[in-house]
Structure 1
Amino acid sequence: MGNVVIIKLVDIIIGILLTNYVVQYENQIFIFLYNSIEGIISSLKGLLFYLMGSPIGLKLNYGFNNFLGQFFLYHISLWRIFLHGTSPVLTSYFKYLMLPGILGFSYQIAMMSDILAIATFHSYCIYVNGARLFNLQLKCLTSLWRVLIGRKFNPLRGRVDSCQYSQNQMFIGTLSFSILLFLLPTTAMYYVVFSVFRLVTLLIDRFLLTARNLFYNIPIYSIYLWLVNASSVAGNIHIIWKGFDEVGNVIIEAKLNKLPFIYTIKKFTPDPLNKTRQQKNLGDVFRSILTGVVL
């Protein structure tokens, strides 16, 4: 309980100091954030124009590639218009938006995570659209592959059964499979590029969450108790035999040893805070990327 109270006081003090700093330099900070977001948007536009050409010598479907590039550029343009429209409002009320930072440094870390999500919202939209399209093509190719080998999925029994298809069905299935197969590299290119952006964003968000949890688990009060040799950090009793006195009584000396420093930290440090979001392990993330499931 002492650790929790001390850390919360330190958290609030740091939050007040940082909020005071932000309020003093609000114009410079807002300009920095605005320029950073503009830089991200410009970089994404340049990347999309590069992908709409022949990136690293890949021979992609020109029409489909141009369509996807223009579609994603439209997303970025919409996001830029939204930022320009809300910029005067954010400038006027930026000071009031930062005032909740006095609740603590951990609260400011959470605000940084939200700012990161807002700044990269356009790249997230592109990633979601690319992932949905990639996942849809994979499912269609899987179904059409069953047509080519004379099989179909039976939803009643939950298994793949044999099936006799007509010539027209085989022709349509083969044609559709060929079209989707040759369009898949173009979709996969956009999906892979923006999946990397999504992974970087998730890593930064995980880093901020870990930093907040580590900050809340700094055992300041436990270290203080160990330094002052408080009774609450007492460990084993060390008894030393001194001998006998004149009347034959046994003389012993008892010392109360304090716990080892590492053991004190482990014993009195508060339990780690429960994670506010479900975190996927690396296996689930890798499986999601291969199948086009949105992270």
Structure 2
Amino acid sequence: MRRKCRIWWPKPLSSTLPSTYNLLFGWFVSCSSDSVDIVVAFASNHESSSNLQSSFQEILHSINGNMHVSLQGKSKFSLLGQYRPCLSNGQVFYNGAEEDDVRKSCAHSIDDVSECCGCLKLDGLLDQCRQTSIENDYWIELAYDSLHLNAWGICWIPKLHHIHWNREILSQFDDHVIFYETPTFGGHHFSLRFWNSSEHEKPSLKKPQWVDELQQKQPLNDLDTVILAINSATAAKKFFERHDGLKRSSANIPIIWMFCTFTWHILAVSIASLSTIFYIFLQFFHYILNFGSQAWVYSASAKAFSNTWINIRIRCCQILYWPIFLQDNDLRSQSSVECAEKVALHKHSMWSSLVVDILLGDLIGLALLFHTESVCLWISNFACNFTNELLRSGCVWLMGVPAGFKLNIELAGVLGMISLNTIQIWSTLWIFVGSLFIYLIKVLATLAILFGLTISAALVIDMIAIATLHVSTLHWLISILYSQQLHTLAALWRLFRGRKWNPLRQRLDSFDYNVKQHVVGSLLFTPLLLLLPTTSVFYIFFTIMKTVISLSCMFIEVIISVIHATPYIKIVLRLIKPRRFPLGIWFESIACHNSSSDSSCSAHIDKNSLPFEEAPQREDINRMISILHSNYLSIGQMVLPHYRKAFSGVSRSYFATSVFGLLSGNKVASTLGATLPSTMPWLYVPYKEYWCLCRNSILGCMVDCNYYRCRDS
């Protein structure tokens, strides 16, 4: 079987014609005995690399140790081989040579591979490293084809001259050169999987046996490791340049650099000071709550304002922990661009949600402050209309002949009078609250401005629940009466059928009732059945009122969950740089050459009518040249997993249970049960240390944080 070799080549190496021979660094990825993937990370000039001979092995070991753990387990960063402008009997042709002479020499050298290895001897430890690579794994020798693919930004294409494959020199193989753009943080990277696959992954159904057998077969390539290596190419190059002494210098723009640094310091000090003020206020507020946590007032307020307390706890944790989340402590994740992007987005997601929440709260809060009187007047009119036009008028209507139904006058009168008295008592109590209502609106607006929209919205839910407590109480009392009446009628109906419910086995069993039991059952069944329409009418009326109130609270709860769950930073970055959110890869074939004993064919793709000159090919080699591309996530594909996670508790069974509870008179949940961000333990840190923590977190987010770190004096 023919050996297959795929060379993953970075585009920048082919953007300009090389003048000297260079060393190639990267990874050999092999999952079968007849195929290998060569991921080229970067190339280094031989003269500059010779200066590192004394510590060359240590440098490679250090770079490999800084790579991702998954990549270390699959492949090792090493010296891959070397490439030169052209190979011909050990001579090197530079850009000064004629192109025709270079091509002829290249063709001649390729035909003479079986006679001579042709590998250029290196110096010192570099040659020892080459010999070790040849004896243990692989070693490649590359030349280049001067193919002008300007439409793709490619000036030359690497040609695998020969390869040392497990102590064998091979010249007969199928090679596939795949060009890729080097992934950079903040620019682009490659990914084979969905970004949030772990968050919405569901257990799959039982797989057929042939699927398991197919998965047990040895794959032809390890594409996951290859993509991980490609995403780690930039980090490997930076680590090598750091050892090679090629550090970035800001000497060309000292004034701009100093101005940016000074501005960033001012921003860091300002945000740290503002956060410290909030931190002092929260610590004082938390101390007061802990001092009075044993009082009954604290327990009652915690139950009455449960939604507000939960959202306040979430907001306090976000304010306290944002500098900790903003710090970049996971240095290993920087080796892979994909991991670094995910860590950065997770790191910035909390403060972006906090900022958007506060901005929305500022808009709503300022609007409430400027229109406090008109808002109070509108709410008072709405409350009066709701109480008089709906509740009182509805109860009076039910005490008569509603919709032409003839009800039991005595029972309807008793239920109506109880409802009217309850409504009147609650309305009288709220007269005293009406004078303080304008201050409640101001408090609501202040909370929205300082802590965000979600806290004020949660307070609105609790205020609605308190203001409609009389409706909830009446609905609860009538639902008890309605459900007990239904259960009694069901039990009596089973008595007439000679059946009895077995609670242990959860089934109906046969049972012999005596005459007295049948007589008593008949005397109870008739009046309960005749009184059921009257109870049902009142139950339906108050159920409609309660459902409308619950739906209003659920709507506000959905708004709170959407504000928490929306990935604002991802949406903004997706609109600016969609390449930061890849979804799968695809290959664009730009040239191919297929040779066999029976037939021989050559093909190429001419893009935009640009000339493409076919390089000389060997008759026993199949070559293919492709470019690696990525698909990108849409905004819907990026946002839906977050919403799906937030509303994971809402399912069809939830709605089915709610409908059954409404029909049977059982208790129905008044909240949607959406998932909110998790709360964290309270943070106790000295004020000065917290200020330094906030400042250092902001300074650590500078654009060139790898070369500049703020240190405390």
Give TM-score scaled by structure 1 length: 0.82
- CA spacing shift, 1:270–1:70, aligned 2, 3 Å: same
- Show the counterpart of 1:185: 533
Higher strand share: 2
Question: Aligned partners of 2:614 and 2:498: how far apart in 1?
Answer: 101
**1:241-252 mapped onto 2 (5 Å cutoff):** 243=612
1:294 aligned onto 2:642: no
Alpha-carbon distance between aligned partners in 2 of 1:253 and 1:145, rounded to the nearest angstrom: 77
Query: Does 2:9 align with 1:9?
Result: no
Mapping of residues 1-295 of structure 1, within 5 Å: 1=346, 2-42=348-388, 43-102=390-449, 103-153=451-501, 159-167=508-516, 169-229=517-577, 232-233=580-581, 236=585, 240=590, 243=612, 259-262=631-634, 266-267=637-638, 271-272=642-643, 274=646, 281-295=654-668
Q: Decide whether the 8 Å contact of 1:61 with 1:183 is kept in 2.
A: yes
In structure 2, C-alpha distance between the alignment counterparts of 1:20 and 1:41, rounded to whole Å: 30
- CA deviations on 1:211-262 (whole Å, 9 max, x unpaired) are 33333444443343234337633564766458459999x9x795755x4351
CA contact (8 A) 1:7 1:216 kept: yes
> In 2, Cα distance between the equivalents of 1:84 and 1:117?
17
Structure 2: runs of 5 or more not aligned: 1-345, 592-610, 618-622, 669-713
What is the CA RMSD across the aligned residues, in angstroms?
3.3
1:268 and 1:282 map into 2 onto residues whose CA distance is 24
The offset of 1:139, in angstroms, is: 1.4
CA distance in 2, matches of 1:69, 1:152: 36
Q: Distance in 1 between matches of 2:616 and 2:466?
A: 84
Higher helix share: 1
Structure 1 unpaired stretches of 5+: none
Instruction: Output the amino acid matched with 1:287.
Output: F
| Cα distance in 2 between the residues matched to 1:94 and 1:155 | 52
Secondary structure at the aligned position of 1:9 is classed as helix
Q: Which structure has the bigger radius of gyration?
A: 2
Does the CA-based 8 Å contact 1:234-1:256 persist in structure 2? no
Deviations 1:129-180, CA, capped at 9 Å, x for gaps: 221111010111122233444554456776544233244x433321111111
Q: Which residue of 1 aligns with 2:250?
A: none
The answer to whether the Cα contact below 8 Å between 2:357 and 2:454 also exists between their aligned partners in 1 is yes
Deviations 1:95-132 (A, max 9, x none): 23442223212233323323332333322222212211
1:49-84: CA deviation from partner (whole Å, max 9, x where unpaired): 011000111111110110010011122112112211
1:293 partner amino acid? N
Counterparts in 2 of 1:277 and 1:20: CA distance versus 1, 3 Å = farther
Amino acid at match of 2:377: I
Equivalent pair of 1:217/1:269 in contact (CA under 8 Å): no
Q: Distance in 1 between matches of 2:613 and 2:544?
A: 77
Q: Cα distance, 1:88 vs. partner? A: 2.8
Equivalent residue letter for 1:260? Y
Greater mean alpha carbon deviation, residues 267-276 or residues 185-194: 267-276
One-letter identity of the residue aligned with 1:165:
N
Measured at CA, do residues 60 and 228 of structure 1 come closer, stay the same or move farther in structure 2, by a change above 3 Å? closer
8 Å CA contact 2:566–2:642 kept in 1: the answer is no
Structure 1 contact 126–194 (Cα < 8 Å) conserved: yes
**How many residues are paired up?**
291
Give the TM-score normalised by the residue count of structure 2.
0.37
Distance 1:154 1:223 in 2: 57
The whole-number CA distance in structure 1 between the counterparts of 2:358 and 2:505 is 60
How far apart, CA to CA, are the structure 2 residues paired with 1:246 and 1:164? 100
